[in-house]
């Protein structure tokens, strides 16, 4: 999945005074890439990721997904696209309160047209991988924050999306749970999952291949994070750090 945005602009004018949340962003995410978007509060990073997933409508600019222009899609067409290709993780987890963990995870798969049996198998696989098998029948309200975010991650992956969008996935979590969730994100990334993640936490962003910094709706920095080579530290590695 390749994702491209060209001169993306979002202006809110709800209150009468136009607010420029995103001012002409150009962005390209390659297949299998893990991109972190960083920036202080109000820098437009959530607005950007919402636009990339079709949750919010752009004011101007273009969005291309897998070579197809999608910014002009209707709300319903975006919904169908999300069903098939996009998974979302939110800061507030956003599990459907009345549904059990199992139902929450199976829902996107069912919606993508998978048979109930396959949806169940996929859910069992995901929950086992996220060590949540024993919580399948629980209601989300009875889970800890970390558990809820793991369920939310399982749900986002249930329809095997080409693109995973995560909006501050660790924003509500303590450090231990943050570590767990990040480990999981790293794992799915290693499996080839394209991920775009918004965060304001540098330690979290460090997990990504590439970090884009936003300020006042504009990209001020876009840099790749070199992968640390494992094990033995050599002099060459020190130089490699630049």
Partner 1 sequence: MSVVRAGGRFIRSDLRARPAQALLTVLSVAGIVAALLTGATLLEEGTNPWRSLFAQTDGAHIWIHTTDPPDVARLRELDGVVRSAGPYRSAPVTVVQDGKKAPAALRALPAALPEVAHPVVREGAWLSSAQPDGVVVEQSFARALGLRLGAPLTVNTLGGARRVLYVRGVADSAEQGFYPEWTPGLAWVLPGTLDQVEPKHGLSEWVTGLRLADADATQVISQRAVVRLSRLERVYTWREVRAAMELDNRLLGTLLALFGVAGLVAAALALANAAGGRVLGQLRDLATLKSLGFTRHQIAALLVVEHGALGLLGIGLGLSAGWAACVWVLGATSAAPLPVLAIAVGAALVVLAAVGLPAWRGGRTPPIPAAPGAPPRGHLSRLARLALLVRLPPALVLGTRDAFTRPVPAFLTAFGLAVPMMMITIGLGVWSTLDNFLKHPEQVGQSAGLIVKKGKLTPAETELLLRQNPDIRKVYQGSTVNALAPGEARSVRVRAIGTSLDPYPYPVAEGRGYTQPGEAVAGQGLLDLLGIRIGDRVRLTVGGTPLIVRVVGRVVEPELDGQVLSVGLDTLEAKDTVPPAFYALDLRPGADPAEVAPRLLAASGEALDVQRVINPAERLGVIRMIIVGLIVVLALIALANLLTAIALGLRDHASDLAVLKAMGLTPRQVTATLVTATGLLVILGVLAGTAAGALVVTWLIDLQGHTSGVGAGIGRPPAVPAVVAAVLTAVGAALAVALIPARRAARASVPAAGTRLTG
Give the Cα separation of 192 and 204 in Å (integer): 19
Closer CB to partner 1, residue 82 or residue 189? 82
- Name residues contacting partner 1, limited to 120-159 (CB under 8 A): 141, 145, 148, 155, 159
Residue 216 CB, nearest approach to partner 1 (Å)? 21
Closer CB to partner 1, residue 145 or residue 210? 145
Give the Cα separation of 240 and 242 in Å (integer): 5
Give every strand in the sheet of 68-69, ordered side by side: 19-29, 3-12, 60-65, 68-69
Site string for partner 1, 82-111 (x = CB under 8 A): xxx---x-xxxxxxxxxxx--x--xxx-xx
Residue 105 CB, nearest approach to partner 1 (Å)? 11
Phi first, then psi: give them for residue 91, nearest 5 degrees: -60, -40
What are the DSSP E strand ranges found in 77-217? 86-89, 163-167, 194-199, 210-215
Q: Comparing C-alpha atoms, which of 221, 220, 218 is closest to residue 210? A: 221
Compute how many residues bind partner 1; rule: CB under 8 A: 43
- Name residues contacting partner 1, limited to 202-241 (CB under 8 A): none
Q: Is 11 helix (H, G, I), strand (E, B) or coil?
A: strand
Closer CB to partner 1, residue 44 or residue 108? 108
Please name the residues in contact with 233: beta carbons below 8 A apart, sequence gap of 6 or more.
none
- 11 with 20: CB under 8 angstroms? yes
Site string for partner 1, 37-76 (x = CB under 8 A): ---------x---x--xxxx------------------xx
Closer CB to partner 1, residue 39 or residue 53? 53
Residue 189 CB, nearest approach to partner 1 (Å)? 21
Identify the residue among 70, 114, 197, 204 touching partner 1 (CB under 8 A). Answer: 114
Closer CB to partner 1, residue 5 or residue 107? 107
Tell me, what DSSP letter sits at residue 226? P
Give every strand in the sheet of 218-224, ordered side by side: 86-89, 163-167, 194-199, 34-38, 210-215, 218-224
Closer CB to partner 1, residue 49 or residue 211? 49
Q: Where along the sequence are the contacts to partner 1 (CB under 8 A)?
A: 46, 50, 53-56, 75-76, 79-84, 88, 90-100, 103, 106-108, 110-114, 116, 141, 145, 148, 155, 159, 167, 172
């Amino acid at each position: 999945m390749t994702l491209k945005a060209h001169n993306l602009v979002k202006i809110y004018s709800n209150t009468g005074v136009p607010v420029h949340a995103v001012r002409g962003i150009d962005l390209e995410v390659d297949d299998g890439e893990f991109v972190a978007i960083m920036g202080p509060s109000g820098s437009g990073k959530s607005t950007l990721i919402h636009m990339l997933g079709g949750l919010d409508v752009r004011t101007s600019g273009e969005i291309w997904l897998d070579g197809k222009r999608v910014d002009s899609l209707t709300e319903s067409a975006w919904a169908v696209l999300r069903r098939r290709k996009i998974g979302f993780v939110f800061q507030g987890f956003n599990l459907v309160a009345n549904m059990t963990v199992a139902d929450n995870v199976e829902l996107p798969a069912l919606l993508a047209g998978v048979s109930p049996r396959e949806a169940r198998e996929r859910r069992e696989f995901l929950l086992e991988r996220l060590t949540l098998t024993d919580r399948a029948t629980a209601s989300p309200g009875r889970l800890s924050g970390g558990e809820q975010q793991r369920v939310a991650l399982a749900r986002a992956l249930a329809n095997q999306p080409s693109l995973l969008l995560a909006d501050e996935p660790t924003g509500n979590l303590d450090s231990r749970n943050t570590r767990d969730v990040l480990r999981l994100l790293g794992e799915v990334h290693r499996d080839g999952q394209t991920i775009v993640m918004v965060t304001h936490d540098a330690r979290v962003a460090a997990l990504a291949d590439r970090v884009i910094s936003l300020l006042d709706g504009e990209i001020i920095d876009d840099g790749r994070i070199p992968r640390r080579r494992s094990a033995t530290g050599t002099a060459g590695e020190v130089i490699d750090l630049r």
